[in-house]
């Protein structure tokens, strides 16, 4: 069924299934002896020391070997366990082995309270006091230091042990030892007999997806939940499922990974075989016998209700396959069970309403190149002389792991010239292994209609707007809307955010190869010709046949200087419906040209007009961009079926056609027709027109008087039409207008062309305001508006240009006011309740954006006078573009606020340990703002920042930078180094104060990071401040900061380190000292130095900063590292965040993070 290996002993060929660690004097002849016998009775091989080994400072070789060669460990924590240095050394060794493998460690609390172990209180505390007193008696300083280091390791090991899920005697069996022992045996038996699935040796680029699934798997829900990974074939669904299965199986009482369900279901008795496998896995070999599907349907509910299970159903293709395995028995599962499904068929998930779905994304270029290199060169990057060809192939694969692995393996060991030839071949003929796997989705389509639709899109319409394709193919007798939905359900097609159809390159190549196989040697006999060489050959040799339904040729793709093609080459192609002949010159008449053309794309047509005998009667779409047309000629008289007309960039075009015969027209695009003077007055006859694009028609002076007859118009673009005259009166009746772009038109209140401007202003403001009365134009009302997108870039709009009720229209989602001389947004902008995107780029006079509503995206780049951005309520930082070029920005609401030292409460400044405030008020320093990328000279500033609360810190922090060369004396821990380590001495520290002393050693501008690493709890917080001070010359700069902990992060005994570094081998800073002081709960109200209980004063509201928990290491079950990013950092703009996200497996220490970003 699948490659598998046992979880513990059998998977690694360990000598022992279980190692017993215990305090001999406490439990050797009682509890541990009974546990040992119960484990042996289950057939498990158990290691225990049969006689007391003399205690010493070193672990005996046999015991050390027993620990290393055991598949799991049980630590029996009895009352005097911590008094034994032998036991503690043993525990340290166990953790060292566990950190390198995926073995199970089970703490058993035998008459011991787990909280005493966690807090290291009670007898645990007494034991460590005894050890510490004994070690302090050592007179040799070096030896005493070694002993004290050992004491730290003991503490850390016990803390880690307490953080694991353990088994307390009183809680689990109410003190009954026999029941308790049986439960322990069941847990161990489950773990050492569970099965892992084989995984790829090179898991590149899966960590983000693995993290998403892991977070769901570990949500502690008691519900029975289903998670679906879906995507195209070969994108990595099964790889991700295998990793999360192996990583999380130990959290469940059993599991099963059913691989290749689609393939098995096609075999005789295949579904029964899957049922048997499922029962065998979850019943551990004691499965009942089943011979038919009905037998399985009856037996499976009995098995799955017994225990919490993790089930993976891989490559499910039909609902019937799910029904055969589970039927409608989701409610029969034991509570807390989880089911993961991988599929290419999204439609089948609709039967599972509460199923969580996750689309597996393709790899980025960096990960793609690495994965390809592992398979082609057995290393993570290509050799220099293969780099160009490798990158070419990787780009062609478009992030599909299957293609990268197959092509890499097929080219391994081949010479460069072979690679070049193979690359050229792959552009036409895909690799057979890739073709075979991807074709499964094509063959699974329900009928020839959907298969043909897939081929049409793959050959001619990949990247085109959905509405455009639907309009054309509906006329080709396709049911395009439902067909596209079916293709999307099978992960063969996507619709992007611009509503364009997107097909992956490998999927597209699969479809084109199906067509090539129709006639491999004679392209003229294929149904569609998409490759320019085949198309040119058929047209040049005139070898086309009746089979051809679509043809695409772009002469710019060929090396031919002048190739004469004749219209007679098309005469035999009676079925031709789709034709693309860009930059082609045809000779001859069109009498015998195919009569059923629906789509003609003829960019660069050399003719001055359409030939009079051109068969236009059936045309639905005519795309003549960048052609030499002066007009459409008489041929347009027969364009009664035309829906789409695109004459963009036809620089010779001076007038539009007569629209009387274009009554079906829906879209008219005339962008960049720079010599177009007028729109024909007959345009009112095109009453079905939905889109009109006149962008950059600079000579156009007026719109037709009957323009108002276009009552169905939804999109109107007049950007760049700088000579347009008065607004046609009928335009006010366009009640369905949704998109209006008028960039570059002057709508100011100046007297020049005042009446023209006023007419357009009234129209525009009417789109976004309440109906108004205009004395100048005697308007009584304006229509209610459905406007969704309004762009008025560079329209010379001042503050007073906006009406009081601007933006009250609830439909407006996109507003672009960039490059206008606005200083402040008027109060009316508080009505922007549903606007998703506000753009104010390059507004050179803009000074403040205050009390903005909760918009989703704000872009205010290169506004040099902007000082302040605030919001009415919470807005996530994800929706706020970094304000580059806003050199004077001092406050970005919900994120940061700069306050001069003279404006901060003096008592608060004293609490920071900063004295002589009056003289410091006049000191100027250089600050680099990490958000604006601007260095400024300013007075000493306090910086208030807000962060989303994490498991480590609460929301607010405060920093201040000032000249200074020493850490204040009240900091209890100090180090003359760029990092400092300490052990938390009490429970519940509330605040963290840090002090960094540094100087400049290079003028290179770099990012500055503070890394706080809780080694005990495996949590790393990476903080990049909003700004940092830049020292002058050889002077030192002091950076003080203050943080509030969350209540459950730090405990007594936790080992913590704090480091500061930049991100290259050649840092621009040198850190002289680091100081740390923790404020504990009991100190908060004590009569001590006030700085030790420093609290942050609120300066701005709570924000949403980036917090990115990094995916766990799929190679092990140990407590894995979580990485959190705070401050001016996100995965899109910061090199460190990118490095950590793309190399998650490496994040095990601060040193590894430094290695990543270097």
Helix (H) or strand (E) holding 21: strand 18-21
| Sheet strands (E) in 1018-1103 | 1019-1024, 1027-1030, 1036-1045, 1055-1061, 1069-1080
| Whether residue 935 lies in the annotated active site | no
CA distance 285 to 943: 64
Sorted by sequence, the CB contacts under 8 Å of residue 468 that are 6+ apart come out as 461, 621, 644, 667
Q: Judge contact between 83 and 130, C-beta under 8 A.
A: yes
Other Cβ atoms within 10 Å of 687 Cβ, number: 14
Helix axes 387-397, 401-411, angle to 10 degrees: 150
Tokens of 2: 């699948």
Other Cβ atoms within 10 Å of 380 Cβ, number: 12
Q: Judge contact between 842 and 861, C-beta under 8 A.
A: yes
Q: What angle do CA 542, 545, 546 make, to 5 degrees?
A: 145
Which residue among 90, 714, 945, 1044 is the active-site one?
Answer: 90
N-to-C CA span, the chain: 44
Give the CA distances from residue 365 to residues 195, 390, 393, 396, 984, in Å, rounded to whole numbers and listed in that order: 34, 11, 11, 11, 43
551 forms beta bridges with 529, 579
DSSP SS3 for 579: strand
Q: Give the count of alpha carbons within 13 A of 539, CB side only.
A: 27
Q: DSSP characters for 348-383?
A: GGGG-TT-EEEEPPPP-HHHHHHHHHHHHHSSSS--
DSSP code, position 60: -
| Sheet strands (E) in 373-527 | 494-495, 501-502
Q: Judge contact between 1009 and 1063, C-beta under 8 A.
A: yes
Give the CA distances from residue 848 to residues 343, 886, 938, in Å, rounded to whole numbers and listed in that order: 50, 11, 20
Going by C-alpha positions, the residue among 714, 715, 718 that lies closest to residue 795 is 718
DSSP SS3 for 953: strand
Q: Judge contact between 224 and 244, C-beta under 8 A.
A: no
Buried b (16+ CB within 10 A) or exposed e, 126-165: ebbeebeeebeeeeeeeeeeebeebbebbbbbbbbbbbbe
CA distance 335 to 308: 6
Q: Judge contact between 954 and 1046, C-beta under 8 A.
A: yes
Tokens of 315: 């490559």
Strand duo 254-258 + 586-587: pairing:
unpaired
CA distance 486 to 493: 9
Buried b (16+ CB within 10 A) or exposed e, 90-116: bbbbbbebbeebbbbbbbbbbebbbeb
CA distance 1045 to 1058: 15
| Sheet strands (E) in 712-866 | 715-717, 739-741, 789-791, 814-816, 837-839, 848-852, 857-859
CA distance 187 to 858: 53
The alpha-carbon radius of gyration of the chain (Å, integer) is 36
Strand duo 857-859 + 891-892: pairing:
unpaired
Positions marked active-site: 90
């Amino acid at each position: 069924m699948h490659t598998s290996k046992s979880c513990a002993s059998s998977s690694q060929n360990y000598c022992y299934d279980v190692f017993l660690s215990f305090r001999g004097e406490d439990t050797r002849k009682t509890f541990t002896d009974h546990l040992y016998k119960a484990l042996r009775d289950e057939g498990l091989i158990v290691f225990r020391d049969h006689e007391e080994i003399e205690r010493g400072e070193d672990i005996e070789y046999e015991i050390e070997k027993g620990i290393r060669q055991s598949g799991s460990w049980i630590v029996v924590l009895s009352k005097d366990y911590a008094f034994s240095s032998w036991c503690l050394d043993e525990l340290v060794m166990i953790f060292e082995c566990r950190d390198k493998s995926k073995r199970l460690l089970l703490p058993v609390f035998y008459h011991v309270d787990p909280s005493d172990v966690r807090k290291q209180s009670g007898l645990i505390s007494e034991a460590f006091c005894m050890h510490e007193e004994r070690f302090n008696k050592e007179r040799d300083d070096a030896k005493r230091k070694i002993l004290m280091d050992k004491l730290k390791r003991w503490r850390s090991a016990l803390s880690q042990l307490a953080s694991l899920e353990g088994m307390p005697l009183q809680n689990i069996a109410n003190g009954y030892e026999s029941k308790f022992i049986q439960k322990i045996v069941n847990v161990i038996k489950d773990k050492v007999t569970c099965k892992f699935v084989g995984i790829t040796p090179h898991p590149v680029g899966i960590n983000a997806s693995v993290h998403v699934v892991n977070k769901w798997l570990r949500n502690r829900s008691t519900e029975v939940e289903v998670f679906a990974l879906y995507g195209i074939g070969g994108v990595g669904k099964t790889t991700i499922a295998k990793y999360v299965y192996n990583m999380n199986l130990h959290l469940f009482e059993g599991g099963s990974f059913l691989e290749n369900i689609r393939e098995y279901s096609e075999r005789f008795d295949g579904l029964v075989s899957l049922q048997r496998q499922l029962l065998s896995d979850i019943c551990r070999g004691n499965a009942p016998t089943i011979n038919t599907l009905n037998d399985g349907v009856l037996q499976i509910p009995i098995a799955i209700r017994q225990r919490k299970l993790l089930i993976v159903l891989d490559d499910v293709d039909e609902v019937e396959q799910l029904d055969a395995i589970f039927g409608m028995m989701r409610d029969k599962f034991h509570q807390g069970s989880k089911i993961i499904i991988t599929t290419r068929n999204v439609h089948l998930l609709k039967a599972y309403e509460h199923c969580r779905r996750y689309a597996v994304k393709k790899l980025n270029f960096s990960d793609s190149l690495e994965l390809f290199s592992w398979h082609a060169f057995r290393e993570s990057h290509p050799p220099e002389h293969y780099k160009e060809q490798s990158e070419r192939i990787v780009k062609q694969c478009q992030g599909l792991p299957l293609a990268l692995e197959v092509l890499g393996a097929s080219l391994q060991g081949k010479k460069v010239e072979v690679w070049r030839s193979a690359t050229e071949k792959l552009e036409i003929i895909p690799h057979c292994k890739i073709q075979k796997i991807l074709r499964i989705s094509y063959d699974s389509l329900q009928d020839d209609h959907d298969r043909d639709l897939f081929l049409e899109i793959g050959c001619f319409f990949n990247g085109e707007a959905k509405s455009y394709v639907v309009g054309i193919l509906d006329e080709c007798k396709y049911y395009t809307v439902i067909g596209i939905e079916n293709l999307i359900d099978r992960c063969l097609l996507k619709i992007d955010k611009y509503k364009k159809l997107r097909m992956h390159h490998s999927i597209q190549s699969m479809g084109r190869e199906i067509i090539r196989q129709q006639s491999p040697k004679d392209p003229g006999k294929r149904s569609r010709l998409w490759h320019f060489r085949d198309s040119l050959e058929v047209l040049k040799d005139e070898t086309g046949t009746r089979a051809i339904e679509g043809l695409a040729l772009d002469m710019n793709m060929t090396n031919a200087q002048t190739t004469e093609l004749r219209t007679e080459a098309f005469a035999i192609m009676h079925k031709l419906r789709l034709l693309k002949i860009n930059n082609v010159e045809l000779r001859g008449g069109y009498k015998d040209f195919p009569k059923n053309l629906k789509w003609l794309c003829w960019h660069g047509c050399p003719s001055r007009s359409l030939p009079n005998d051109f068969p236009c009667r059936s045309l639905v779409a005519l795309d003549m961009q960048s052609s030499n047309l002066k007009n459409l000629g008489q041929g347009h008289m027969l364009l009664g079926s035309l829906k789409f007309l695109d004459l963009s960039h036809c620089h010779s075009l001076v007038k539009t056609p007569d629209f009387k015969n274009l009554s079906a027209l829906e879209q008219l695009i005339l962008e960049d027709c720079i010599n177009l003077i007028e729109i024909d007055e007959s345009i009112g006859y095109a009453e079905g027109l939905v889109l009109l694009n006149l962008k950059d028609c600079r000579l156009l002076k007026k719109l037709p008087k009957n323009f108002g007859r276009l009552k169905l118009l939804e999109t109107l673009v007049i950007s760049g039409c700088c000579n347009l005259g008065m607004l046609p009166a009928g335009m006010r009746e366009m009640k369905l207008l949704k998109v209006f772009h008028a960039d570059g038109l002057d709508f100011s209140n100046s007297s020049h062309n005042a009446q023209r401007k006023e007419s357009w202003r009234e129209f525009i403001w009417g789109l976004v305001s309440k109906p108004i009365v205009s004395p100048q134009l005697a308007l009584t009302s304006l229509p209610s508006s459905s406007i969704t997108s309004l762009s008025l870039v560079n329209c010379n709009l001042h503050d007073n240009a906006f009406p009081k009720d601007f933006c009250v229209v609830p439909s407006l989602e996109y507003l672009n006011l960039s490059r206008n001389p606005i200083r402040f947004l008027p109060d009316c902008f508080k009505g922007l309740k549903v606007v998703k995107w506000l753009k104010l780029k390059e507004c050179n006079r803009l000074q403040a954006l205050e009390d903005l509503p909760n918009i989703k995206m704000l872009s205010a780049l290169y506004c040099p006078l902007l000082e302040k951005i605030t919001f009415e309520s919470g807005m996530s930082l994800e929706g706020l573009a970094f304000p580059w070029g806003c050199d004077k920005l001092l406050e970005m609401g919900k994120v940061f606020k700069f306050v001069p030292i003279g404006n901060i409460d003096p008592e608060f400044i004293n609490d920071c340990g900063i004295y002589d405030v009056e003289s410091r008020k006049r000191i100027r320093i250089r600050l680099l703002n990490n958000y604006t990328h601007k260095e400024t000279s300013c007075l000493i500033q306090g910086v208030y920042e807000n962060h989303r609360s994490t498991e480590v810190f609460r929301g607010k922090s405060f920093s201040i930078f000032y000249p200074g060369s020493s850490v204040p004396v009240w900091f209890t821990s100090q180090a003359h180094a760029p990092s400092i380590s300490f052990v938390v001495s009490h429970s519940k520290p509330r605040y963290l104060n840090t002090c960094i002393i540094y100087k400049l050693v290079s003028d290179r501008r770099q990012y500055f990071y503070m890394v706080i690493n809780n080694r005990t709890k495996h949590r790393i917080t990476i903080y990049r401040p909003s700004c940092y001070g830049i020292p002058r010359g050889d002077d030192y700069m002091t950076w003080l900061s203050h943080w509030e902990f969350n209540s459950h992060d730090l405990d007594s005994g936790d080992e913590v380190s704090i480091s500061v570094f930049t991100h290259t081998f050649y840092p621009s800073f040198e850190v002289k000292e680091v100081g740390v002081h923790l404020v504990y709960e009991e100190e908060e109200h004590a009569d001590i130095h006030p700085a030790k209980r420093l609290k942050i004063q609120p300066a701005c509201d709570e924000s949403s900063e980036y917090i990115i928990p990094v995916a766990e290491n799929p190679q092990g079950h140990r407590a894995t590292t979580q990485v959190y990013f705070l401050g001016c950092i996100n995965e899109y703009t910061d090199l460190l965040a990118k490095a950590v996200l793309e190399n998650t497996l490496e994040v095990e220490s601060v040193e590894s993070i430094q290695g990543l970003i270097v």
